[in-house]
């Protein structure tokens, strides 16, 4: 069984935010909610790198562990999803998640948190596959169509990869070898690239 993962290659990401836009458009995410974001560290300095981040679909997901109503579940593909009908909008998943993935629409009375929204790996939710309910609550279900998440499919530099963890690590291993980071000149290529500056 596949174990679905995202991987963002810091050597390739150019901070175009195409993944963010693709996600918002594909899933028709409400205003103020961004399931994916690109973070740039050392912006404008030597060694600047960007990474695209969303829900990482953890094996031991902290959000699922702390949820007071136990609304999270993991699919057979290792995708962490949640049930918005059960969610009470308490925000505990937001405190627990290290990546800041859970998002809360604030259009509810007294600006309290609405039901949580997060990246679904374009795998919809617990509603009937491709139903209108599923799309309204969770966005599109590309996995059911045999497609991968649109953010990774749209990535112009193929920095953001999505798919089976074994396949992704093979692709990344080949990239690392091609960059020349072999044992004998370890660090040389990275130094040239300014990553170790």
Q: How far is CA 133 from CA 41, 117, 129, 130, 150, in A?
A: 38, 15, 9, 8, 20
> Which residue in 37, 133, 154, 165 binds another protein (CB under 8 A)?
37
Q: Report helix, strand or coil for 51.
A: strand
58 contacts another protein (rule: CB under 8 A) = no
49 contacts another protein (rule: CB under 8 A) = yes
> Which residue in 95, 128, 130, 145 binds another protein (CB under 8 A)?
95
Calculate ∠ Cα 163-6-76, nearest 5°.
55
Phi, psi (rounded to 5 degrees) for 144? -65, -25
Of the two residues 69 and 144, which places its CB atom closer to another protein in the complex? 69
187 contacts another protein (rule: CB under 8 A) = yes
Calculate ∠ Cα 178-181-186, nearest 5°.
160
190 contacts another protein (rule: CB under 8 A) = yes
Look at the block and give the residue holding tokens 């130094």: 191
Q: Which string of x and - marks every residue 62-81 that binds another protein (by CB under 8 A)?
A: x--xxxxxxx----------
Q: How far is CA 62 from CA 57, 91, 115, in A?
A: 10, 12, 18
Stretch that binds another protein, among 88-96, 129-137, 148-156, 165-173 (CB under 8 A): 88-96
177 contacts another protein (rule: CB under 8 A) = no
User: How many residues of this chain interact with another protein, rule: CB under 8 A?
Assistant: 54
Minimum distance, C-beta of residue 76 to another protein, in the bound complex (Å): 20
Q: Which residues are paired to 141 by β-bridges?
A: 123
Q: 4 to 23, contacts with another protein by CB under 8 A?
A: 10, 15, 17, 20
51 contacts another protein (rule: CB under 8 A) = yes
Look at the block and give the residue holding tokens 């699919």: 75
- Rounded Cα distance between 184 and 197, Å, is 20
Residues that bind another protein (CB under 8 A): 10, 15, 17, 20, 34, 37-43, 47, 49, 51, 53, 62, 65-71, 85-92, 94-100, 104, 106, 110-113, 181, 184, 186-187, 189-191, 195-196
């Amino acid at each position: 069984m596949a174990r679905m993962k995202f991987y963002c290659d810091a050597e390739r990401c150019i901070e175009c935010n195409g993944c963010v836009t693709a996600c918002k458009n594909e899933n028709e995410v409400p205003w103020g909610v961004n399931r994916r974001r690109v973070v740039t560290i050392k912006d404008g300095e030597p060694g600047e790198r960007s990474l695209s981040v969303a829900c990482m679909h953890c094996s031991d997901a902290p959000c699922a562990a702390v949820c007071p109503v136990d609304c999270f579940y993991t699919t057979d593909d290792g995708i962490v999803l949640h049930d918005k009908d059960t969610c009470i909008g308490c925000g505990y998943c937001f405190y627990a998640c290290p990546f800041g993935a859970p998002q809360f629409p604030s259009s509810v009375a007294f600006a309290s948190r609405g039901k949580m929204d997060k990246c679904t790996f374009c795998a919809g939710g617990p509603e009937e596959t491709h139903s209108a309910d599923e799309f309204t609550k969770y966005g599109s279900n590309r996995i059911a169509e045999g497609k991968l998440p649109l953010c990774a499919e749209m990535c112009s530099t193929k920095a953001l990869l999505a798919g089976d963890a074994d396949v992704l690590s093979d692709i990344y291993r080949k990239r690392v070898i091609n960059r020349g980071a072999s044992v004998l000149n370890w660090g040389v290529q990275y130094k040239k690239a300014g990553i170790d500056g």
